[in-house]
């Protein structure tokens, strides 16, 4: 396949940036790059435009750097909430990917961010809050807090039944008041313990009759 050299006038991902001289297929240059103004043929006259293209490239890269640095500051203050379905045990159905996070950024904050700039070592598989790395620019990195919540709230914990005495065992009544009342005679005017039963005074014992003297034996 025939090749031709061109000078790029725009940044083309995977190919090059402004002022780069690249080799491409003749058909690609003729049918796509040149008609769209993305490149110009490599000629003596066009080489004179390289300085202008380099200056334009430097201005574009500086603008991108400043934009992404400001974006990184803004994103570090946000919490992106991703709602997922879960089972009764709280386990997630599926995972949260960088594409899902990018969609929520657009929905919640109207921020368009390429999912490739959201770096995940592996998809998120659990509920909770996570700190996700952002690779916004070759010289700019940032972080984003992502909170994964369940769309199905967990049922409230069951209330534990109050403790009841076991069958066949009866609770003994509190006999402390009776023991105190029996052991210590209250002083005059002192109040009796609550719940203590009044004791009736004992009846005096009947006096026994004196024993009759035995008659003396006759001599």
What are the residue ranges in the chain where pLDDT is below 70?
A: 1, 153-219
Q: Are 145 and 79 in contact (CB under 8 A)?
A: yes
pLDDT at 64 (0 to 100): 94
Q: Residue 144: beta bridge partners?
A: 132
102-138: string of b/e by CB count within 10 Å (b at 16+)? Answer: bebbeeeeebebeeebbebeeebeebeebebebebbe
Go through the domains of the chain in sequence order and give each one's CATH number. 3-48 (3.40.5.10), 72-150 (3.10.430.100)
pLDDT at 83 (0 to 100): 93
pLDDT at 170 (0 to 100): 58
For residue range 41-70, what is the model confidence (pLDDT) as tens digits? 988 888 888 888 999 999 999 999 999 999
User: Alpha helix locations (H) across the chain?
Assistant: 26-28, 44-47, 50-75, 98-109, 176-183
pTM to 2 decimal places: 0.59
Q: How far apart are CA 46 and CA 4, in angstroms?
A: 15
């Amino acid at each position: 396949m025939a090749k031709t050299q061109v000078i790029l006038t725009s940044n083309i991902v995977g190919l090059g940036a402004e002022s780069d001289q690249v080799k491409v297929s003749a058909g690609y240059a003729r049918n796509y790059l040149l008609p769209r103004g993305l490149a110009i043929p490599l000629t003596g006259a066009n080489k004179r435009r390289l300085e202008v293209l380099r200056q334009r490239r430097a201005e574009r890269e500086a603008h991108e750097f400043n934009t992404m640095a400001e974006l990184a500051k803004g994103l570090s203050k946000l919490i992106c909430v991703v709602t997922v379905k879960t089972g009764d045990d709280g386990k997630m159905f599926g995972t949260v990917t960088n594409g899902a996070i990018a969609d929520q950024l657009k929905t919640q904050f109207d921020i368009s961010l390429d999912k490739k700039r959201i770096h995940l070592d592996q998809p998120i598989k659990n509920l909770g809050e996570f700190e996700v790395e952002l690779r916004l620019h070759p010289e700019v990195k940032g972080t984003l807090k992502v909170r994964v919540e369940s769309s199905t709230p967990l049922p409230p914990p069951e209330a534990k039944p109050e403790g009841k005495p076991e069958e066949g065992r009866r609770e003994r009544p509190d006999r402390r008041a009776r023991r105190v009342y029996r052991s210590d005679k209250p002083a005059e005017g002192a109040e009796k313990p609550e719940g203590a039963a009044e004791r009736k005074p004992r009846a005096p014992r009947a006096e026994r009759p004196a024993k009759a003297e035995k008659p003396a034996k006759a001599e």
